[in-house]
Structure 1
């Protein structure tokens, strides 16, 4: 599975754009820092934000690479599992670099 980096396009399930807040700067792919599973994401533009209930404002990868680490932590990968904090729905990577793979 491709490794996620700062420039990867990640969306919540309601089409909100998710950006990592603290990518790991010591390892780069496609000239951009990688994202560890513990990196929190901030989400903007969730379509649920206009409703009175909870909406996706932040998220985090919970399952990532099992064999590739950066700084002692697993990397976030396209095939991993991520959750939005308030709603419990997922996030998905829709575009990422394809040269570096991790399992």
Structure 2
């Protein structure tokens, strides 16, 4: 499945609306003026408002489980807009897929 490559300033949110921050693992590959995202990056979510049984159970990280099959960035698969991911709580419980709403429009991969 093809899609636009994500970069560190792409707008990615958890299913509950909290914004994700991508800390790049590499600083060599640039798309749209920003570092390209790969599965090696640290994707954190801050301020997730989700509660489970009256206990805070926020999304804190994103794990990309189906990234690009063809594009590698420093040996790690690139993350595409069409990539499948999971937002995870502190106890690693899956919270749902991340939502990608804004991404650069020039570079497309598979």
TM-score between the two structures when normalised by the length of structure 1:
0.90
The runs of 5 or more residues in structure 1 that have no matched partner are none
Q: Is the 8 A contact 1:82 1:92 kept in 2?
A: no
1:7-59 Cα distance to aligned partner (Å, 9 max, x none): 10000000010011234211000111011023221111212169514210111
Q: Is the 8 A contact 1:38 1:61 kept in 2?
A: no
Structure 2 residue aligned with 1:46: 48
The runs of 5 or more residues in structure 2 that have no matched partner are none
Count of aligned positions: 103
Larger of the two Rg values belongs to structure: 2
Which contiguous aligned blocks of 4+ residues in structure 1 show a shift greater than 6 angstroms?
Answer: none
TM-score between the two structures when normalised by the length of structure 2:
0.85
Structure 1 residue aligned with 2:102: 95
